[in-house]
Amino acid sequence: DKTKIIRQTSTPLIKKGEVKCLLSVSVDITKDTLLTEELVLKNSQLDTLLEYLPLIVYMKDKDKNFIIGSKYAKDFYEKGVDRYADDLKINMDKSLQLADEEDNLVFEKKEKLRKEKTSIDKDGNIHWYRIIKAPIIKNNNSIEGLITIARNIDSCKALENQKDLF
């Protein structure tokens, strides 16, 4: 399809209160329009992926502010509520300091961090999480932010313990 999208701007040229001619400028915006449509589609696809991804996934900017995340990521990030683990409530007082130290390490080293760690819930019970944090690096090698992926692995740890006991 060779259809072009043209944006045209016109203005009258006035001399002594009388319109003498019309000046028009036309620009081919076909490529810009197609790129905009593609960007809107990709954004919609990303939103759908995040909506149905059964993991806690979120991005933070370089100032460690929440940008975007999967369906329940903001509850986890702000309140310590893990909707994927039966609304488990993590004690955020202890978890926030460790998470901040992990973020600083990722920012400093510009490398992915992968680990299993424990968190304590509001009742004092220990829960296991697999955490992956990775920097978002721009073309000029500067850090734009980071992505965090977290998953409760209590059931995996319980299975490991049963195997060890057996």
Cα 88–Cα 90–Cα 94 angle in degrees, nearest 5: 170
The pTM score is 0.77
- 82: burial class by Cβ within 10 Å (0-12, 13-18, 19+)? buried
Gyration radius of the chain over CA positions? 26
Instruction: Residue 127: name the closest of 81, 58, 164, 162 by CA.
Output: 81
Tens place of pLDDT for every residue, the chain, 166 residues? Answer: 688 999 999 999 999 999 999 999 999 999 999 999 999 999 999 989 988 888 999 999 999 999 999 989 999 999 999 999 999 999 988 788 899 999 999 999 999 999 999 999 999 999 999 999 999 999 999 999 999 999 999 999 888 878 777 7
